[in-house]
Amino acid sequence: MAAPKSTYDPSTNVGKVRLFIQDTDESKAKFNDAEINVFITEAGSSKLRAAAGLALLTWAAVLGREDEDVSVGSWSGDRRDVAEKMSKLAKEYLDMDGFALDRKPAPYFKAAVVDWTPAAEAQRRLTEDQ
């Protein structure tokens, strides 16, 4: 099976999002075209900066997991520092397009929120023992 396609043509919506997030090297693309299209769909086809913001948040989430040094475009430093800078730019892009992250999620997304504090863990253990 062929690898998913990653193209860079700044005259297309996918290419514009790639330009905003500096994912322009087709041979080292962070996201394939289908993934970029998911961000465009989620943000709305006319809100390309919001799509770029979603892409940057996704990329930052992956980067922020470890403490090693990394270089992404013009940013370099430890992964968490770079992820923080990406998240800040993502928020700026989202704000430019009036996209609120606290909006109601699409019905096919269901998230569980789990409180992992020691008190909540102790309460879960008590409940399980009963």
- pTM > 0.85: yes or no: no
In a domain, 38, yes or no: yes
pLDDT for the residue 103: 54
Q: Is the pLDDT of residue 118 over 70?
A: yes
At residue 113 the predicted structure's pLDDT band, cuts being 50, 70 and 90, is low
Q: What is the pLDDT of residues 29-73, one digit of tens each?
A: 999 999 999 999 999 888 999 999 999 888 888 776 665 666 666
CB 55 within 8 A of CB 21: yes
In a domain, 117, yes or no: no
Q: Is the pLDDT of residue 1 over 60?
A: no
In a domain, 123, yes or no: no
pLDDT for the residue 72: 64
| Sequential DSSP letters for 32-96 | -HHHHHHHHHHH-TT-HHHHHHHHHHHHHHHHTT--SEEEETTEEEEHHHHHHHHHHHHHHHHHH
Residue 72: domain span: 13-102
pLDDT for the residue 127: 72
In a domain, 107, yes or no: no
Q: What is the pLDDT of residues 63-92, one digit of tens each?
A: 766 656 666 665 666 777 777 878 888 888
What CA–CA distance (Å, rounded) separates 119 from 62? 29
In a domain, 128, yes or no: no
Angle between helices 13-21 and 33-43 (to 10 degrees): 90
In a domain, 114, yes or no: no
pLDDT for the residue 14: 96
- Overall domain count for the chain: 1
At residue 97 the predicted structure's pLDDT band, cuts being 50, 70 and 90, is confident
pLDDT for the residue 13: 96
**Mean of the per-residue pLDDT values of the chain:** 80
In a domain, 8, yes or no: no
